[in-house]
Amino acid sequence: MTAAGQARTRTELDGEPVGAAQLQALALTNYGHFTTMRVEDGRVRGLSLHLERLRRDCRTLFGTDLDLLRVRELARRAAPPTGSATVRVTVFDPLTDLGRPAAVGEPRVLTTSRPAADAPLPALGVRSVVYAREVPEVKGVGLFAGLHHRRLAQLDGFDDALYVGRDGTVCEGVTWNIGFFDGSRVVWPAAVCLAGVTMELLKRATGHESRPVRTVEVRDMRAAFATNAAIGVRAVERIDGVRLPAAHPAIDALRRAYLALPGELL
């Protein structure tokens, strides 16, 4: 069994076992935010960015500050001491009132863990869809639209969906950012999207260009890749009818650069 397979599964609300009644608001109102991080031997690449995201989104959705030291402690409890696991930290208010969401509440912290996927994962085939997420700068818990578009893409023979604007501008994947290699440099689409932690880390570690990329330009790219904290760097081999290499030296270099980044102690 791999280290990922040995990872324990744990679900807690503020460090205590959670019951169905406490999760009712999350299930029925679906109002909250989260971040997902890959923990390897107690360390997380971009931990500070994950924590900053939680702080920022809590202020946006609930108008209050989050105790990040407490969040860090709770996330540490959810992770195995050794090996790899994917830990999700969700912030929501169990007392959220559907009719009065502006009422002052007290957001709480739900931590869950699952085995981390072995990397690298197979290359993706994605279908573009005209869609823009609501409040895209917040990593919200509302996943209905994303899962719906992913499902439709899979029924059409693809692995996932790629969001594009009405003018064909490439934005982001359902749960990942997308980047390209144009033959000389990495290109990140300049568009309104959720700025992922992995994308930000790669921007800091490697040379790149940020500019609008339209779907008609995809055929001129040499390679494409998806990024998020759970998958790292994953090749994209098909976008609609355009075929791209499932393996490319530029993607290998990005993957090495990402894996070489030191993790912060959780």
Dig out the tokens for 99 from the structure.
Answer: 């009719």
**One domain for residues 194 and 177:** yes
Q: Which residue has the tokens 């339209």?
A: 214
Angle between helices 197-205 and 249-259 (to 10 degrees): 100
Name beta bridge partners: 169. Answer: 214
pLDDT of residue 8: 55
pLDDT tens, position by position, 80-110:
989 999 999 999 999 888 888 888 678 999 9
Considering the domain boundaries, does residue 231 fall inside one?
Answer: yes
What are the tens digits of pLDDT across the range 181-211? 999 999 999 999 999 999 999 999 999 999 9
> Which pTM value belongs to this model?
0.92
Same domain, 103 and 132: no
Quick: pLDDT tens for 118-162: 878 999 999 999 999 999 999 999 999 999 999 999 999 999 999
6 band by pLDDT with thresholds 50, 70 and 90: very low
How sure is the predictor about 5, in pLDDT bands with cuts at 50, 70 and 90? very low
Residue 266 in any domain: the answer is no
Distance (Å, rounded) from C-alpha 153 to C-alpha 82?
36
For position 110, which CATH number holds? 3.30.470.10
Give the chain's domain count: 2
The pLDDT of residue 2: 40
Concatenate the DSSP letters of all residues of 59-127 into one string: HHHHSS---HHHHHHHHHHHS-SSSEEEEEEEEE-TT--SS-TTS----EEEEEEEEPPPSSPPPEEEE
Residues 165 and 73 in one domain: no
CA atoms of 166 and 168, how far apart (whole Å): 5
Residues 54/47, Cβ–Cβ less than 8 Å: no
84 and 10 in one domain? yes
- Residues 210-248 have pLDDT tens digits of 999 999 999 999 999 999 999 999 999 999 999 999 999
Q: Give CA torsion, residues 139, 142, 145, 150, to 10 deg.
A: 70
DSSP letter for 216, please: G
